Amino acid sequence: MKSKLLIVDDEPKILRSLKFLLEDNFQIHISDNSTEAIEIFKKEKIYLVLLDLRLKEDSGLDLMEKLLEIEPNAIIIIMTAYSTIENSINAIKSGAYYFITKPIDNDQLILLLNTADEKLKMFQKISHLEGHIKKDIIGESPHIKEVINIIDRIKDTDATILITGESGTGKELIAQKIHRSSSRADRPFVAINCAAMPGDLLESELFGYKKGAFTGAFKDEIGIIRRADKGTLLLDEIGEMDLRLQSKLLRFLQDKEVRQIGDEKTYNVDVRIICITNRDLKEEVKSGNFREDLYYRINVINLVAPPLRERIEDLKDLIPYFIGKYNISFNKNVNGITDEAYEMLSNYSFKGNIRELENIIQRAVLLATSECIEPDLLHISPQSIMNTSKDLTKNHIKIYEGENMKEIEKKVIEFALKTNNQNRKWTAHSLGIGERTLRYKIKEYNL
């Protein structure tokens, strides 16, 4: 689809000739004055503008500033006959994308507009994706639907939520989603990782301190809990918090009051707490590493981030999503994955869950030289592919009495090729023979 381009110039002749020049490549809108230009710009949601620096009643620079106020991501190219360095510097300083002097060199203009258009499209794709990342948890498996359903039901309660799950399953993403779907969405979302610092430091970060309360307290600090007031506070890796601080946190959860270290006063805080852990907190309670009362206090609602292996059908949404994401980052044009590669991922045991999948796809997109991701680009070893195939017979070879060595060898190679998705390198590796030998055997047995 052609992008929209708004041309603003006070000379009708120029407007006409530019329209004629550019209408093959763009959907053109024209105007000879600021007021109308702003109207069109807003109504048509235009992102690309070619603007004369000197208009009749006001300056192009002023108009440019107004347009950028309305849409900061718009690309504005200034044209002027007054090609002084000063003009161009001012225009660029105020946010113009580029500066072109009259009389206009048509080829230069077209090139410039096309580059700007590419940039815009790229930007729009990225912001669309970012919007996606921010808003959406990808996947339509029953597990993910259940998570989304729970989020929907609890988003506006103030209940503390404990999110558990293996590494890389999207626990933080779920926490963000809860915040964004809640009535606290336009208030702060503050996250702190309890494993990232020693207890004393964590305490002062959370609760704040008065200047001089301890060495290094050079100024007053209100602390993260108060910074999250009216919003959401995420305590990541809560299982790592030391027992003393656990008590202090528990008191805060009961009283909803904080006192900065070295201060007398207490402050009421209204904050929704989400905790994350990949430890088994019940076990930690049993072994005395986690306070039981705190455990019950934070575990009002438990949300479990399901591991990828329990929702492998989500690969069909996750893979294209990550391909799209990295196409943009790496400026690539990968449009999919071969059936074999897909099959391989479906049987792969993802220890790092979605994060690992994302890394695999990222690398594959980066290395891809064709439009489709082939199995060898995944760089996953045959050993880590689970044999969870439902068809158990697939994982056996039957050998019958009276079969000779060659017949058996043929079956073994056939089987190994199949389990390695016809990848010869891995097949050879799994059989402990060289690739050349394998090639020779394949030919010999006509496989």
Ligand X SMILES: Nc1ncnc2c1ncn2[C@@H]1O[C@H](COP(=O)(O)OP(=O)(O)OP(=O)(O)O)[C@@H](O)[C@H]1O
Please give the residue ranges that form the binding site for ligand X (CB under 6 A).
137-139, 165, 167-173, 278, 305, 354-355, 358
The whole-angstrom separation of Cα 339 and Cα 344 is 8
Q: Which helix (H) or strand (E) holds 297?
A: helix 292-298
Closer residue to Mg ion (CB): 172 or 317 = 172
Residue 141 partner contact from ligand X, Mg ion, none using kind-dependent CB cut-offs of 5 to 8 Å = none
> Hey, is 374 helix, strand or coil?
coil
Smallest gap from residue 136 Cβ to ligand X (A): 7
Answer whether 241's CB lies under 8 Å from 249's CB. Answer: yes
Closer residue to ligand X (CB): 207 or 326 = 326
Number of residues that bind Mg ion (CB under 5 A): 1
Closer residue to Mg ion (CB): 238 or 368 = 238
Closer residue to ligand X (CB): 139 or 231 = 139
Smallest gap from residue 165 Cβ to ligand X (A): 6
Counting contacts by CB under 5 A, is residue 237 touching Mg ion? no
Locate 8 and state its tokens. 């603003």
Answer whether 276's CB lies under 8 Å from 237's CB. Answer: yes
Smallest gap from residue 363 Cβ to ligand X (A): 15
Closer residue to ligand X (CB): 104 or 191 = 191
Smallest gap from residue 235 Cβ to Mg ion (A): 11
Smallest gap from residue 163 Cβ to ligand X (A): 8
The site map against Mg ion for 33-72 (x = CB under 5 A) is: ----------------------------------------
Closer residue to Mg ion (CB): 168 or 208 = 168
- Which residues inside 145-174 make contact with Mg ion, applying CB under 5 A? 172
Residue 173 partner contact from Mg ion, ligand X, none using kind-dependent CB cut-offs of 5 to 8 Å = ligand X
Whole-Å CA distances, 353 to 160, 161, 278, 314? 26, 22, 13, 12
Smallest gap from residue 356 Cβ to ligand X (A): 9
- Which residues inside 169-188 make contact with Mg ion, applying CB under 5 A? 172
Name beta bridge partners: 273.
233
The whole-angstrom separation of Cα 222 and Cα 208 is 5
Smallest gap from residue 186 Cβ to Mg ion (A): 24
The whole-angstrom separation of Cα 41 and Cα 7 is 10
Residue with the shortest CB distance to ligand X: 170
- Which residues inside 299-328 make contact with Mg ion, applying CB under 5 A? none
Whole-Å CA distances, 265 to 1, 244, 256, 393? 62, 21, 14, 72
**Residue 29, φ and ψ in degrees, nearest 5:** -120, 140
What residues contact residue 118 under an 8 Å CB cut-off, 6+ apart? none
Closer residue to ligand X (CB): 51 or 318 = 318
Answer whether 6's CB lies under 8 Å from 113's CB. Answer: no
Whole-Å CA distances, 392 to 238, 380, 388, 389? 42, 23, 8, 6
Tell how strand 189-193 and strand 161-164 pair up.
Answer: unpaired
Name beta bridge partners: 257.
268
Residue 278 partner contact from Mg ion, ligand X, none using kind-dependent CB cut-offs of 5 to 8 Å = ligand X
Smallest gap from residue 239 Cβ to ligand X (A): 11
Residue ranges in contact with Mg ion by CB under 5 A = 172
